[in-house]
Structure 1
Amino acid sequence: MGEQSGDFSVRSAYKLLQDVRLDPNFYLIQTDLKDFYGKLWNLQLPAKIAITIWRIYWNYIPTLANLKHKRVSNDATCPRCGRGEEDITHIFRYCPATGEIWPLLDLSWISESTIQGFWEWITWVFRTSTSEQCKIYCCGMWFLWNSRNKFIHEQKIETGRELSLIVRNYIAELEGLRTKASTLKPSSSHRYQEGGTSVTIQFDTAFDCRNFKSTSGLVVWGRGGRLMATKTVLHRNVQSPFPAEALAGLQAVKLGSEMEFPSMTVMGDSLTIIKKCKVMKRDQSAIGPIIHDIHNRSNRFEDLRFQFLNRTENDFAHKIAVEALKKEEETYLVRGRDDFPEGRWSRDPD
């Protein structure tokens, strides 16, 4: 109960704990929390940085103020400037060792804010910043915390100018790696086809939580990694990303049927959806009717396989889904008939 997948998990227990919370302020901050987490996880930062920002957000880092509160340390005075108690607000906002880095990263405006509380401040920064500014901000905070630890444990001093150069070089390195990875994606995603079906359809979804709309992004690949077709489908009155992902899987099976493929592999980055498609039994979850429809259509194929792939290898399908959701339009692009299996396409696609 309360879990759309029908399976009890750690997240299920977390939801139950949320339901017994009596503090009304807890529910008032849910929108800010969702916006913050949504932006943080979409920045595509290394896990070590994203998790550190999450810990900073909840004050789960061993500042001297926290250590003193836990009676691990007797003195909470900032070791770098000696001008105040070393808590998260002092480390990332008011310490003179910190004040120099934000202007050098073109983020001087975050230091000029009159917001007092740290939680409100970091939430405001995320809400008002672009994704690129948030990425610089997160990397800056991570390197600030790393620099603080080097000072305490290694007596190593890094200036604000040095840290700003480190941050910019690190972000440039991340972008370079991401560009290199994107050039390898077509070949890497098609390694799954070896020894399998000759056609693969990858699916992904984009979801608009404000207007309850989603789009399905579909990419059809032939043997040897040849792009055969792309399609986007707009859905309305979709309540959450979970059924949106299931609808995208259904659209992938429909597209394979329309293109009259005798066999194919359907691939998506939602492990739960892929597992449900593989198990040919009645699904009792919220998406049961969609899974039932997928199973019924599976009988039209000689060989239909469902396979999970990493989100990084499903980038193409995700991008066209996001673009279609922005424009609120459906597309269907097909390459020449020479790209399709012999004997197929007795009729033009709808």
Structure 2
Amino acid sequence: MSDLVWSTLWRLHIPNKLKIFGWRVCHDILPTRENLARKRIIEDRTCEICTRGDESALHVLWECSVAQDVWAGSIRKLQKGICEVREIRQLVESMIHKLNLEELELFFVQAWLIWSQRNLVLHGGKLQDPTRLVQRAEDFLKEYREDQDIPATGIGAVIRNDSGEVMAAISAKGPAVFDSEEAEVLACRKAVEFAVDSGFYSVIIEGDNCTVMNSIQSMSRTRANISKLGHFYEDIGCIILGLQEVSISCVSRSANTVVHSLARHARIIEDEVAWLELVYGVPGIYAGYNI
């Protein structure tokens, strides 16, 4: 990877996990069907979403008809009016020369959301409306930028298997909030996103704010929430649609002490820290916050 790509990527004002995603994209080490076939893990390289070509990183993030529909709704500079490229790194280099830093940040966030949707669909989820993915990318960046300039809350989440063993955990900063419900719903959204990013698609979601847990439970049935936090609940609902199995329940705060310790730890870190263990089973997500 050229020095220009590397230095530009790490100057972007986006979460570290997206910088790592961009690094994997530029090195072409995403687990696409083309890469898996190259390693002889699978034989068929065909994109399972559009079935019109081999699933390379360039295809899934840029050339696939599903990706094209998303880019078509983005800002003009990110629409697919660009010279032909043969490799994903060439696309990134072209974008670096074409876009300013804020536009480049939007490019990587949108690409990450397209990749995340691809993973959800392959595990039984449904394709989202392209306009929703476009809006989600803009909202994600806006929230992240605002979070850097105001006092933050702390968010913690733990994923355990059905034997109670910790499979993954995260400690992350969250935005300033008005009340405990807003803090809990943001923590829950972060926890569910983390579970999907970590490769878990059959989960039990547990939290100690019964109002939030009941609202999420209602979303899974009615898919409508007109409260001031409705857009956060809708985000969670869209992610849940991509899971194979999900159940939601409320637990006592005393059962969530580790999560709240992680949330307190988030107050002293710059971005977020995640831990992953190779322990298998049916995962349960425990979300919490610290104001």
TM-score (norm 1): 0.41
**Relative contact order, higher structure (CA 8 A, sep 6+):** 2
Q: Which structure would you say has the larger Rg?
A: 1
TM-score (norm 2): 0.50
